[in-house]
C-alpha cells in the first residue's frame, strides 16, 4: 500500500475510536452529570483511542496489513503519546482537581501545591520500580523502558485482581446451585416490617415536633430552670418539657436506633429483590445458557488457579503460546495433516481478537458499574481522570501480557517496541495477584453466602 493510503487508514481508525469513546463516555458513563470541564472530558476518549489503536496494530501485525516500517513508527508514536498522558499529564490534573475540591486548601495555594504534589507523585512512581526486578541494568534514566516497566506493574496488578475476582464471581452469579430460593411471602414479610418501622419512626417524630412546639409557646418554664444550678438541672432534665412524660432526648435516641433498623431492613429488602430477579432471570433462555457456561467457566477457573499455583511453586514459565502448542498436539498426537504456517496465523488472529474484544467489553462494563456506584457530583471529574489513568495502564499491561499468547514470529514487534523488559517477571506477578484475588473472593463469597437471610419470618405472621 502506498504511504498515503496507510496513513489515511490509520487516521480514519483513530478518529473512529475517538468518536466511539466520546459517545460512550457521554451517553453511558457521564449521563447523570453536567460536563462543564471540556478538557477532562477529552482525556477519557483520548486514552481509549490510543489503547484501541495499540490493539489494532497488534491485529495488523498478525494479519500482515501495512508495511512493517509504518507499523514500527506508528507503534512508537502511540506509545510515546500514551506515556506522556499517563505519566505526566493526567496525574497533574488529578492533583489539581483533588486539591481544588478539598476544603482545606485556599484557592491561591492550589496551583503551587498541585505542582509540588505532582513532583511527589513522580518521585513515588520512580520508587515503585526499585523492589521489583523489572529491568536489565543497561538502560538509561529516561528511556521508555523505565516508565513502561512501572506502568506495567500497576496495570498488571489491576488486571490480575479483576481477573481473579471475575473468574470466581462469574460462576457464582450465573450458576443456579448457588442461588438461594426467595419466596414472595418472605419479601412481603420484610416489606411489612419496614413499613411498620417507618410508622414507629413517624409517631416518635410527631411527639418530638409537638414537644418542641410546646416549648416554643411556653418559654417561661425554661427560664425558671436556668436560675438553678447545674446539678439540679441534671435531675430535672428527665422532665424537661411541659407535656408530662415527653423527653425529647430519649425520643431522639430511640428514633436513631429505629432509623438504623430501618436502613438494615431496606437493604435486606433490596438484596432479596435482587436475588428474586436473578432467580427469575435464571429460568429464561439466556439465564439457562449462562448457567451452562458457568459450569465450563468454573472448571476453567479452577484449572487456572491450580496452574498459577504450580507456576509459582515450581517457578515455571510457559515458553510456547497456546496456538503453537495446540498445533503441535494436533499434528503429533492426533496425526492431522494441516498447514501449520497458514493456520497458526489465522488461529492466533482469532484468539487474540477474542481476547481483546472480551477484555475491552468486560473492562468497560466493570468501569461503568463502578462509576455509578462511586460517583457524586463533586467528585465526578476526579473519578473520570482516575478511570482514564487506570484504563491506560490496564491496556498497556494487556499488550505486554498478550505477548505470551502470540506465536514467536509475531512477538518480535512487541519486544522491539516495548524494549527489553523482564517479561517473565510480569507473568509471575500476574499469577501471584490472580491467586490472591481469587482466593480472597472465594473467602468473601463463602462468608456472605452463609449469612444469607433464611426465610423464618413466615412463621411469625
Partner 1 sequence: MSTFSAHPNEINKVKVLVVGDSGVGKTSLVHLLVNGEVLTKSSWTIGCSVEVKIHEYREGSPGHRPYFVELWDIGGNNSHKSTRHLFYTSVHGIILVHDLANRKSQQNLRQWLVEVLLKEKSNPGSRDALVDNFDAEQFGALAKVYRANKIPVLVVGTRLDDLAETRPTASLPRTSPAFSASSLADACSADELSVSCLDVRSVAPGSGNAVKLSRFFDRVIDGQIHCNGRPGPLYSGQPNYGLKMRYP
Count of residues touching partner 1 (by CB under 8 A): 44
The verdict on 167 binding partner 1 (CB under 8 A) reads: no
Residue (of 143, 142, 153) closest to 393 by Cα position: 153
**CB 194 to partner 1: min, Å:** 7
Task: Write phi, then psi, for 333 (nearest 5 degrees).
Answer: -90, -35
Tell whether residue 365 is a contact of partner 1 (CB under 8 A): no
Among 207, 278, 288, 411, binds partner 1 (CB under 8 A): 207
Q: Count the neighbouring beta carbons within 10 Å of the beta carbon of residue 155.
A: 25
194 contributes a contact to partner 1 by CB under 8 A = yes
SS3 421: strand
> Contact at 8 Å (CB) between 78 and 57?
yes
**Least distance in angstroms from the C-beta of 205 to partner 1:** 4
User: Which cell numbers in the block locate residue 24?
Assistant: 460512550
Other C-beta atoms lying within 10 Å of the C-beta of residue 280 = 10
Q: Of 45-53, 207-215, 313-321, 340-348, which part binds partner 1 (CB under 8 A)? A: 207-215
Sign of the torsion angle spanned by Cα atoms 112, 114, 116, 122: negative
| Sole window of 40-48, 73-81, 204-212, 293-301 interacting with partner 1 (rule: CB under 8 A) | 204-212
Given the rule CB under 8 A, which of 50-58, 267-275, 399-407, 449-457 is the region that contacts partner 1? Answer: 267-275
Q: Which stretch binds partner 1 (CB under 8 A): 16-24, 255-263, 299-307, 395-403?
A: 255-263
Q: Closer to partner 1 at the Cβ: 81 or 368?
A: 368
Q: What is the DSSP string of 202-227?
A: HHHHHHHHHHHHHHHH-THHHHHHHT
Shortest gap between Cβ of 272 and partner 1 (angstroms)? 9
Site string for partner 1, 83-102 (x = CB under 8 A): --------------------
**Long-range contacts for 210-216 (Cβ within 8 Å, ≥24 apart)?**
210/243, 210/246, 211/241, 211/243, 211/246, 211/248, 211/251, 212/248, 214/241, 214/242, 214/243, 215/241, 215/242
- CA–CA separation, 61 and 53 (whole Å): 12
Torsion, Cα of 409, 411, 417, 418 (10° steps): -160
Q: Which of 185, 224, 171 lies closest to 441, judged by CA?
A: 171
Q: According to CB under 8 A, which residues from 4 to 63 bind partner 1?
A: 31-34, 36
Nearest Cα neighbor of 427 from 322, 331, 334, 312 is: 312
- 202 interacts with partner 1 by CB under 8 A: yes
Q: From the list 38, 138, 220, 376, which residue makes contact with partner 1 (rule: CB under 8 A)?
A: 376
Among 39, 104, 123, 184, binds partner 1 (CB under 8 A): 184
Instruction: State yes or no: residue 252 binds partner 1 (CB under 8 A).
Output: no
Residue 269 found at the interface with partner 1 (CB under 8 A) = yes
Q: Which one of 5, 88, 195, 408 is in contact with partner 1 (CB under 8 A)? A: 195
Least distance CB 252 / partner 1 (angstroms): 12
Q: Which parts of 272-291 interact with partner 1 (CB under 8 A)?
A: 273-274, 277, 280
Q: Quick check: 182 binds partner 1 (CB under 8 A)?
A: no
- 383 part of the interface to partner 1, by CB under 8 A: no
Q: Enumerate helices (H) and strands (E) in the chain, giving the number of each.
A: 16, 0
Identify the residue among 115, 203, 317, 374 touching partner 1 (CB under 8 A).
203
Dist. CA 272–CA 320, nearest whole Å: 47
Which range of residues in 79-87, 91-99, 265-273, 356-364 is near partner 1 by CB under 8 A? 265-273
User: DSSP readout, 60-124?
Assistant: HHHHT-S-HHHHHHHHHHHHHHHHIIIIIIHHHHHHHHHHHHSTTS-GGGHHHHHHHHHHHHHHH
Q: Which is nearer to partner 1, 214 or 457 (CB)?
A: 214
Question: Cα separation of 339 and 213, whole Å?
Answer: 91
Contact segment (CB under 8 A) with partner 1 among 211-219, 223-231, 331-339, 341-349 equals 211-219
How many CB atoms lie under 10 A from the CB of residue 388? Answer: 26
Q: Return the range that interacts with partner 1 (CB under 8 A); candidates 89-97, 135-143, 209-217, 330-338.
A: 209-217
Q: Which three cell numbers stand for residue 330?
A: 494436533
**Interacting residue ranges for partner 1, rule: CB under 8 A:** 31-34, 36, 184, 188, 191-192, 194-196, 198-199, 201-203, 205-211, 213-214, 243, 259, 262-263, 265-267, 269-270, 273-274, 277, 280, 372-373, 376-378
Amino acid at each position: 500500500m502506498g504511504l498515503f493510503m496507510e496513513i489515511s487508514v490509520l487516521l480514519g481508525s483513530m478518529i473512529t475510536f475517538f468518536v466511539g469513546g466520546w459517545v460512550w463516555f457521554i451517553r453511558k458513563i457521564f449521563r447523570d452529570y453536567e460536563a462543564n470541564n471540556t478538557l477532562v472530558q477529552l482525556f477519557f476518549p483520548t486514552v481509549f483511542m490510543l489503547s484501541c489503536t495499540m490493539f489494532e496494530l497488534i491485529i495488523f501485525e498478525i494479519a500482515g496489513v501495512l508495511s512493517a516500517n509504518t507499523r514500527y513508527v506508528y507503534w512508537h508514536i502511540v506509545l510515546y503519546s500514551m506515556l506522556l498522558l499517563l505519566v505526566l499529564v493526567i496525574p497533574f490534573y488529578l492533583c489539581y482537581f483533588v486539591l481544588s475540591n478539598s476544603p482545606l486548601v485556599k484557592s491561591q495555594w492550589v496551583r503551587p501545591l498541585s505542582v509540588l504534589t505532582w513532583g511527589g507523585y513522580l518521585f513515588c512512581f520512580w520508587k515503585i520500580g526499585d523492589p521489583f526486578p523489572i529491568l536489565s541494568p543497561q538502560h538509561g534514566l529516561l528511556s521508555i523502558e523505565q516508565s513502561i516497566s512501572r506502568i506495567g506493574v500497576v496495570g498488571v496488578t489491576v488486571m490480575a485482581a479483576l481477573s481473579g475476582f471475575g473468574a470466581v464471581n462469574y460462576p457464582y452469579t450465573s450458576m443456579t446451585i448457588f442461588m438461594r430460593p426467595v419466596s414472595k411471602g418472605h419479601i412481603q414479610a420484610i416489606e411489612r416490617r419496614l413499613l411498620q418501622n417507618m410508622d414507629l419512626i413517624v409517631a416518635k417524630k410527631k411527639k418530638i415536633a409537638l414537644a418542641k412546639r410546646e416549648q416554643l409557646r411556653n418559654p417561661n418554664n425554661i427560664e425558671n430552670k436556668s436560675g438553678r444550678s447545674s446539678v439540679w438541672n441534671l435531675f430535672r432534665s428527665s422532665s424537661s418539657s411541659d407535656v408530662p412524660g415527653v423527653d425529647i432526648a430519649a425520643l431522639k435516641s430511640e428514633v436513631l436506633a429505629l432509623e438504623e433498623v430501618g436502613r438494615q431492613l431496606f437493604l435486606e429488602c433490596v438484596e432479596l429483590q435482587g436475588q428474586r430477579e436473578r432467580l427469575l432471570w435464571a429460568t429464561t433462555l439466556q439465564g439457562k445458557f449462562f448457567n451452562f457456561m458457568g459450569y465450563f467457566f468454573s472448571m476453567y477457573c479452577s484449572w487456572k488457579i491450580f496452574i498459577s499455583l504450580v507456576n509459582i511453586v515450581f517457578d515455571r514459565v510457559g515458553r510456547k503460546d497456546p496456538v503453537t502448542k495446540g498445533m503441535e498436539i494436533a499434528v503429533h498426537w492426533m496425526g492431522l495433516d494441516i498447514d501449520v504456517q497458514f493456520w497458526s496465523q489465522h488461529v492466533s488472529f482469532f484468539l487474540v481478537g477474542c481476547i481483546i474484544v472480551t477484555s475491552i467489553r468486560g473492562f468497560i462494563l466493570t468501569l461503568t458499574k463502578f462509576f455509578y456506584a462511586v460517583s457524586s457530583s463533586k467528585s465526578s471529574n476526579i473519578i473520570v481522570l482516575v478511570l482514564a489513568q487506570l484504563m491506560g495502564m490496564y491496556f498497556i499491561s494487556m499488550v505486554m501480557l498478550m505477548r505470551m499468547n502470540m506465536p514467536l514470529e509475531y512477538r518480535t514487534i512487541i519486544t522491539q517496541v516495548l524494549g527489553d523488559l523482564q517479561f517473565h517477571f510480569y507473568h509471575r506477578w500476574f499469577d501471584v495477584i490472580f491467586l490472591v484475588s481469587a482466593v480472597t473472593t472465594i473467602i468473601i463469597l463463602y462468608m456472605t453466602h452463609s449469612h444469607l437471610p433464611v426465610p423464618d419470618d413466615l412463621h411469625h405472621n
